Chain A
Amino acid sequence: MSNVPAVVGTERVKRGMAEMLKGGVIMDVVNVEQAKIAEDAGAVAVMALERVPADIRAEGGVSRMSDPDMIDAIVAAVSIPVMAKARIGHFAEAQILQSLGVDYIDESEVLSPADYANHIDKWQFTVPFVCGATNLGEALRRLTEGAAMIRSKGEAGTGDVSNAVTHMRKILGQIRSLTSMSKDELYVAAKELQAPYDLVKEVADTGRLPVVLFTAGGIATPADAALMMQLGADGVFVGSGIFKSGDPAKRAEAIVQATLHYDSPDVVAKVSRGLGEAMVGLNVADIPVHHRLEDRGW
């Protein structure tokens, strides 16, 4: 054999990359020091951003893609994959992140949206994308645009896991109900989900999303991670929960172990001891509706 082509940026290598992260914890970091703590704790990847969601929430203002120098420094400092966030619809930020060599882009509602109608056309990129979703229709629309991984949105920067639970139950519940529908009902289901029929049919046939489904937004304790894994998440994103807590290194490792041993309460109990203070937290119900991040994305 000679002159065999090597093809990059295929759907399979993009989705496959996310398969390799399963069972793992992806941690938000804002500098090299935090990235190293995350790697030492057993994170499967780090998410580089300029402010963790709790600070974005507290300080307000427009949140954007991180400084390229900071991303370069984190890429150089750790051997695990590095992800970074782009604003919803901001394809130029995504182009920059791809050129910096990040391993995954999160088109994220945590940053200020750049486009209130369109998401990024993710098929145009070699680098894969993860996107948030609050329900199955939203997840399938993101896949239609080329996302290769989905995370439930939750409500970032709160330390309140309730929205993550709501979104995970919603997505998986809608999948379960598709599997029990007759073939002719799937046409209406596609209309109601506002998603393409072929994808709806595929989910109904297989009983699962065609990509990896992580959870995010409000996970702050080992018990939160175990809860989300038992509900059916493939893995966990932790944002403010680690570096806004009393002992980040210890809490990071505890969340990693709880994600691995999610179905062993004895282990989760053991790693939950002596972690110091959890992030202060903010009840989602106390946040004015127009300040909630879950509603960003369409």
Chain B
Amino acid sequence: MTATPRIGVLALQGDVREHALALAEVGAEVARVRSAADLGSVEALVIPGGESTTMSKLALSNDLMEPLREARRAGMPMYGSCAGMIMLADRVTDARPDQETIGGIDITVRRNAFGRQVDSFESDLIVAGIGADPLHAVFIRAPWVESAGPEVEVLASVVSEVGAGTIVAVRQGPLLATSFHPELTGDLRIHRMFVEIVRHSR
């Protein structure tokens, strides 16, 4: 199939615009998703960076959490960056006890694992599946993956001194997640990879 993939961006809060621009640039048709009806009109979903506590609350108060879980269980490809990674994680630590997620990736993520905003940083990474050139990654109050189940493919780990060895990009089937924000740098390789996942999931 060569039809243009129609990909939604969860537009409850966060850097929706930056993901929408990146997706459009790699050839997707983009729609903003704020309701179950919006979700029904897309074949894949990006969950943007933002504040995961808020995003989770808004998904619940707008009756979107269950439809999101159903779509995920039905096999909808999803990609989450930062807060989006937290939303796709089966387990979260250092969060409010009532924080709910969509889940689907068998990982435990630690919120704000690298520290507060003064510890937010930029560094280079090698990401499996996007070529040998390092990717310049931006981490903002970022989570990391504390532990990953056997079905989870680890795509990248931190190589700089701070947090060296911690897992920051994972994939499980049609679900993709990064601790960092490729939507802020203009490097489109992660978005391109996601569009490939969407095409192969058809």
Contact = CB atoms under 8 A, between A and B. Distances in A.
B interface, size bucket = 35 or more
Q: Is the interface of B mostly helix, strand, loop or mixed?
A: loop
Q: Is the interface of A mostly helix, strand, loop or mixed?
A: loop
A21 B161 contact: no
Contacts of B16: 22-23
B48 to A, nearest CB: 8
A6 B15 contact: no
B118 interface: yes
Contacts of A44: 13, 50-51, 54
Given A12-B122, A12-B138, A19-B184, A42 B117 contact: no
Given A4-B160, A5-B160, A42-B61, A20 B49 contact: yes
B191 interface: no
A182 interface: no
Interface residues of A, number: 41
B118 A24 contact: no
A232 interface: no
B31 to A, nearest CB: 15
Contacts of B185: 12
Interface in B108-122: 111-112, 116-122
B6 interface: no
Contacts, number: 134
Contacts of A253: 61
Interface stretch (A98-106, A108-116, A150-158): A98-106
A44 B185 CA distance: 23
Interface string B10-46: 0111111110000000000000001000000000000
21 contacts: A1-B126, A1-B134, A8-B121, A13-B117, A16-B181, A19-B184, A20-B49, A20-B51, A23-B13, A23-B14, A24-B14, A42-B54, A79-B99, A80-B51, A81-B117, A102-B117, A104-B117, A126-B118, A253-B61, A256-B54, A256-B58
Interface of B: 11-18, 34, 49-51, 53-54, 57-58, 61-62, 82-83, 94-96, 99, 111-112, 116-126, 134, 138-141, 158-162, 181, 184-185
